[in-house]
Structure 1
Amino acid sequence: MHILLVIAGSMLVAVAYNFFLIPHEILSSGLSGIAIMLGIITPLNTGVLNLLLNLPLLILGVMKLGKRFIAYTILSVITLSIGLYIVPVIKLSTEPILSSLFGGVLTGAGVGIIFRASASSGGFDILAMLLARKKDFPLGALLSIMNAAVVVVAGFLFSWDAALNTLIAIYATGKVVDTIHTKHIKLTLNIVTSKGDEMCEKLLKSLYRGITLTEGKGAYSGENRFILMTVITRYQLNEVKQIIHDIDPKAFVNITQTVEVVGLFHRD
């Protein structure tokens, strides 16, 4: 099911790019925006450029991030790159503002679907997760600067109308992604298991979140148990639930929505 969602979301993004953004020289955010820009000013296909730009980050992601997550992300990047290569570039609308708005909405829908499948579309998302391992790293500011740079370059290379339309597309994409996925929502997990060390080791390898491990005792059974507490983002939930089930199908898990997180929590 997740594989189908990743493929469908990635193809939707490819259609949004080739039907609405690229014909009007409108960029998206992140590495995809850079791939679109290079595809316009060079003879190379945007799909090929998207794959080449993401390749180094994907290699790093394989070594540093969760295997399930990065596997789906690799599938997303490959599908998007193939989609950009095979879907023809057609100007469906002659109005740039409508194209930037509708292209941004379709892109947000596709990316939101990809996020719901516990994956990402690559690019700056992977970079964010790699940098999130560093404590107190100003991640939000960095990503904002990167996206702002894409907009400014669009203004200089094409026109400032194109730059402003790019802003509209990026804004629409962000709004739709938040509506579909709400990845900013944080969840607190309390996991009660007899396999605390094994569970903790697997979660630490697969996620980039801290875990607090304490020892407990079942009031009814009298058996010793481990209690793991961690805070994750909502889009990580499916992966975490699968990991917990693989390690200890009998584990008790309490999942609650977190109102606010104060302290060292890496925001992606």
Structure 2
Amino acid sequence: MKKNVKLALFEYGMITFAAVLLVIGVYFFKFPNNFSFGGVTGMAIVLSAVTPFSAGTINFVINMALLVVGFLCFGKEFGAKTVYVSVLMSLGLSGLEKYFPMPHPMTNEPVLELIFAIVLPALSSAILFNIGASGGGTDIIAMVLKKHSTVNIGTALFLVDLMITVAACFIFDAATGLFSFCGLMAKSLVIDTAIENINLCKYFTIVCDDPEPICDFIHEKLTRSATIFEAEGTYTHHKKYVILTVMKRGQAVQLRNYIRWNEPGAFMMITNSSEIIGKGFRGLN
């Protein structure tokens, strides 16, 4: 019970942090520059230019409408985390708009602001994806399409984002439109890179004569496990042992240093891996 409570607190703490990053990136860097590279926030920027309503207000209305659609389509199955992120983000943008108005961009460097407008929301999306949550908005549209149609979701959402970006070229100026196109092209790349780095683990293949000291260190100091099997050297035909184990980055440094100083005869191969599924890693707890 305590473990479940701690896990829930950790997850919602990370979700809150991700939502704050998203709000900062959108409000302070995306909204003032009219960067419209897709999503509900991009739609809100475009619509705010042709209606008397602010981007924050339009974003709030669209997100709440999509939440209603989500509940109508999925009922109790609709994710609590998605609801939490959508509400937190919408309220955050509306609150900042009221108490910290941004009548113009923070700096005179649009390229610098575009970088922050891409990186902060992308990092937020990567954190949410890693926890199994979503930012709501167009993710809800994707969920509905997946349930009720055979449409290629990725293509459909990309076309929606592309239309929003094209609209920015006509509603604003050419420079804003081109910046928005850059944001659209870079967004997915940055999200994928961020997810890969968050999940990065080290996969060890260790060939040694005596596996016990190494396995004891893995069990007692690093609280991890390993797989071991017998092998034979092709040159000497001596009996060897192969240890397979996976570590988080901090643990990997400790294991590497231990083997280097205490088992200098061991042979190590260390490989980066961003997709480890199993107990103690992603997928199972």
In structure 2, what is the Cα distance between the partners aligned to 1:84 and 1:52? 12
CA contact (8 A) 2:81 2:133 kept: yes
CA drift at 1:151: 0.6
The CA deviation string for residues 35-54 of structure 1, in whole angstroms up to 9 with x for no partner, is: 12233444433333212112
The CA deviation string for residues 84-133 of structure 1, in whole angstroms up to 9 with x for no partner, is: 12333362321222211221111101121222221111121111121112
- 1:77 corresponds, among 86, 89, 108, to 86
Which residue matches 1:152? 166
Aligned length: 192
CA drift at 1:153: 0.7
Which of 1 and 2 has greater Rg? Answer: 2
Gap regions ≥5 residues in structure 2:
1-9, 200-274
In structure 2, what is the Cα distance between the partners aligned to 1:23 and 1:81? 17
Which residue matches 2:53? 44
In structure 2, what is the Cα distance between the partners aligned to 1:170 and 1:102? 14
Which residue matches 1:97? 111
CA contact (8 A) 1:27 1:37 kept: yes
In structure 1, what is the Cα distance between the partners aligned to 2:74 and 2:152? 20
CA contact (8 A) 2:59 2:90 kept: yes
Which residue matches 1:205? none
Identical pairs, percent: 28
CA drift at 1:67: 4.9
In structure 2, what is the Cα distance between the partners aligned to 1:149 and 1:234? 37
Which residue matches 2:12? 3
The TM-score with structure 1 as length reference comes to: 0.62
The TM-score with structure 2 as length reference comes to: 0.59
CA contact (8 A) 2:36 2:43 kept: yes
Within the alignment, does 1:22 sit opposite 2:31 as a pair? yes
In structure 2, what is the Cα distance between the partners aligned to 1:126 and 1:239? 23
Q: Matched residue of 2:147: which SS?
A: coil
In structure 2, what is the Cα distance between the partners aligned to 1:51 and 1:15? 16
CA RMSD in angstroms, aligned pairs only: 3.1
Which residue matches 1:162? 176
Gap regions ≥5 residues in structure 1:
186-232, 243-268
In structure 2, what is the Cα distance between the partners aligned to 1:9 and 1:103? 14
CA contact (8 A) 1:14 1:83 kept: yes
